[in-house]
Amino acid sequence: MTGFNAHGVWAIYRFEMARALRTLWQSVATPVITTSLYFVVFGGAIGSRMQSVDGVGYGSFIVPGLIMLSLLTQSISNASIGIYFPKFTGTIYELLSAPVSAMEMVLGYVGAAATKSVILGLIILATAMLFVDLPIKHPLMMLAFLVLTSIAFSLFGFIIGVWAKGFEQLNFVPALLITPLTFLGGAFYSIDMLPPVWRTVSLFNPVVYLVSGFRWSFFGQGDVGVGASLAFTFAFLLACLGVIAWIFKTGYRMKE
Amino acid sequence: MPAILTVAGVSKTYDSGTTALSPIDLEIEKGEIFALLGPNGAGKTTLISIICGIVTPSGGTIDVMGHDAIKDFRAARRLVGLVPQELSVDMFETVLATVKFSRRLFGRSGHDAYIEQVLRDLSLWDKRHAKIMELSGGMKRRVLIAKALAHEPDILFLDEPTAGVDVSLRRDMWKLIHRLRTRGVTIILTTHYIEEAEEMADRVGVIDKGKLVLVERKTELMKRLGKREVLVSLREPLRAVPAALANWDVELADEGHSLRHSFVADGDRDGIPALLAKLRELDIDFTDLETHRSSLEDIFVDLVGRKDAA
């Protein structure tokens, strides 16, 4: 087995990016509009009556959580549809018969999904800056969290896309798992505001670590230590890679 | 002829316990057109899918020009192109984009002149900027062929290339396949139309219930199995087969209103003109005649029956 198929990876990557351009409206405009609505409601209407959280104005406080919310749902839906669609239409025959290794396939699909998520995160960030004053204390760490989370959740989305047997299952995980976890994961509040019991329960919510780490990169403080956040992000990424390796080894729902 | 593709002991048993393929051994010669014949569900597509890497075999090995299809999958797959049976193609893409995508996916850099040639050969050049969803079924199949040829494969698999295709398109497809062979592409196609195998193949493999029942040169197979029948409608009914026709394989049908003659179409001696001349000689008037060629089903019944008897 010799020779990395760079042309193949590039072909998949470009195909996926082109798909996003064709559906530019859904890919970019929808999340931007949704985020703006959150600002109007939470930042403007409610936020003006709220005290600052940890010395940060409420409007600014919710920005990292909002970006995370979009990042998680969009990474999952982009990557899952990317691999699910060929399975659904039957065009996967070509991928499976091509000299493309499992790793290269993941690189193409997940790379494209993660790229889209990072771009989306930056667009939402720019949108947010129009509404509120936003300091970024650790810009490099901010980017690192953005990129790592996008990759990790695109990998997760890829797994869902392979697992899903129908379109309703594609929406199942983002709608029933990710959105509640994000809302309960301190996207709109600090878990310090919760009663002690719920604070402890929250520590079992993985999204708390993602939001906290990301918020730390903006304001220099989070609900949990930045080390714990980074460790969790990496652990999740590795776990997804492990599952994907298993999928390709066994051919699970890809090959008969 | 050297073998370009060697299938050795390849079998497939699904998790459910169904055996789709019993161990199959097959050698494909360089430059030939090989037709894999069999009824629906015989295992033709499974065999092709295993060779192309879409289905994992339960056992056996596949060698493509010296490259093991699993251990050395990159080298092996680059040599192979596959045109699937279903019209599975990205509907929102343009013809040109999807063909270029296929070429890159198979690890090759762009080669616009070659792609133009392929599209022109398939009469798709004028449609290169059309979205695939706008094309007719026959056009879509040609797009699939263009995609399979985009990376300049040495071996092309066509899974039921003319299933659900009208007669004139089928003729076009046959011509196209012959042209590809002239360019040196080895072609393996599956079909359940015997006419198709007859029209195109150099060799024929018959697969039934997951077993490769026989592999033979087409000419020999036709000689052995291509039984034909002619039914002559008579002006006046006959009571018995005339004595002069006793040595012919002739029987009365339709209460003496017609004569049925069976013969093997081997090309050396065509039974119909000889029979008609004989009838004229005997002053037997006829009004119509109908010929019938043994269908693949007949051949199967024959083959399987003989196997069971042996």
Determine, for residues B88 and A91 on separate chains, whether the beta-carbon distance falls below 8 Å. Answer: yes
Q: Which residue has the tokens 């409420």?
A: A58
> Would you call B108 and A10 a contact, using CB atoms and an 8 Å cutoff?
no
Q: Which pLDDT belongs to residue B65?
A: 95
Ordered by where they begin, the domains of chain B are 3-223 (3.40.50.300), 227-293 (3.30.70.1560)
Name B203's bridge partners: B34, B217
Assess whether pLDDT exceeds 80 at residue B227.
Answer: no
CA distances from residue B134 to A22, B93, B95, B148, B152 in whole angstroms, order as listed: 17, 10, 10, 20, 26
Work out the minimum CA distance from B72 to partner chain A, whole angstroms.
Answer: 5
Question: Which of B58, B65, B93, B105 should one mutate to test binding to chain A, selecting the residue with the greatest count of A CBs within 10 A?
Answer: B105
Residue A135 within a domain: yes
Q: What is the pLDDT of residue A36?
A: 84
Phi-psi label, residue B160: left if phi above 0, alpha if psi -120 to 50, beta otherwise: left
Token pair for A24: 């530019």
- Confidence class for position A1, pLDDT limits 50, 70, 90: very low
The contact set of B with A (CB < 8 A) is 14, 49, 52-56, 71-78, 80, 82, 84, 86, 88-92, 97, 101-102, 104-109, 147
> In Å, what is the CA distance from B99 to each residue of A45, B146, B291?
53, 6, 44
In this structure, the strands spanning B155-159 and B186-191 are parallel
Sheet with B19-29: strands ordered across:
B19-29, B3-13, B59-64, B67-68
DSSP-assigned beta bridge partners for residue B260: B231, B251
Residue A104 resides in a domain? yes
pLDDT value at residue B224: 67
Does residue A226 sit within a domain? yes
Q: Which of A3, A14, A97 sits opposite B53 (nearest CB)?
A: A97
Highest mean pLDDT among A145-159, A195-209, B256-270: A145-159
Domain contains A64: yes
Please state the rounded mean pLDDT for residues B37-64. 91
Residue for token pair 């199959």: B24
Tally the domains of chain A: 1
What residues have CB less than 8 Å from B279, skipping those under 6 apart?
B232, B259, B286
What are the Cα distances from residue A184, in Å, to A157, A203, B206? 21, 11, 63
CA distance from start to end of chain B: 32
pLDDT value at B304 more than 60 = no
What pLDDT digit, counting tens, does each position of B255-293 carry? 888 888 887 765 555 677 888 888 888 888 888 988 877
Mark B251-281 as b/e (b = at least 16 C-beta within 10 Å): ebeeeeebbbbebbbeeeeebeeebeebbee
Yes or no, beta carbons of A8 and B56 under 8 Å apart: no
- Whether A98 maps to a domain, the answer reads yes
Quote the longest CA-to-CA distance of chain B: 75
Full residue range of the structural domain in which residue A91 is found: 27-250
Mean pLDDT over each residue of chain A, to the nearest integer: 87
Tokens of A68: 């995370």
CA B137 and chain centroid, separation: 20
Residues in chain B: 310
E strand intervals along A98-207: none
**Considering CB atoms only, which of B88, B90, B108 is closest to A7?**
B108
Residue A9 lies in a domain: no
How many angstroms separate the CA atoms of A12 and A161, rounded? Answer: 16
Higher pLDDT, B222 or A55: A55
Per CB-CB distance under 8 Å, the chain A contacts of B79 are: none
CB pair distance less than 8 Å for A7 and B109: yes
CB-CB: which of B75, B84, B92 is closest to A22?
Answer: B92
Pairwise pLDDT comparison (B156 vs B196), residue with the higher score: B156
Beta bridge partners of B205: B36, B215
**pTM beyond cutoff 0.80:** yes
Say if residues B135 and A35 touch (Cβ distance below 8 Å): no
Residue A223 located in a structural domain: yes
Residue A13 lies in a domain: no
For residues B56 and B290, give the distance between their C-alpha atoms in angstroms, rounded to a whole number: 48
| Minimum Cα–Cα distance from A93: chain B residue | B54
- The string of DSSP letters for B39-57 reads -TTSSHHHHHHHHHTSS--
Could you read off the pLDDT of A17-66 as tens digits, one per residue? Answer: 998 888 777 777 887 888 888 878 877 777 677 777 777 888 888 889 98
Count of Cβ atoms closer than 10 Å to residue A189 Cβ: 18
Q: Which residues of A touch B73 (CB under 8 A)?
A: 1, 99
Q: Which residue of A has its CA nearest to B72?
A: A1
Edge-to-edge order in the sheet of strand B33-37: B80-83, B155-159, B186-191, B33-37, B203-208, B211-217
Indicate the pairing of strand B203-208 with strand B59-64. unpaired
Is-contact B40 B85, C-beta < 8 A? no
**Cβ A217 vs Cβ A138: under 8 Å:** yes
Task: Give the closest of A3, A22, A94 to B74, CB-based.
Answer: A3
Q: What is the overall mean pLDDT for chain B?
A: 87
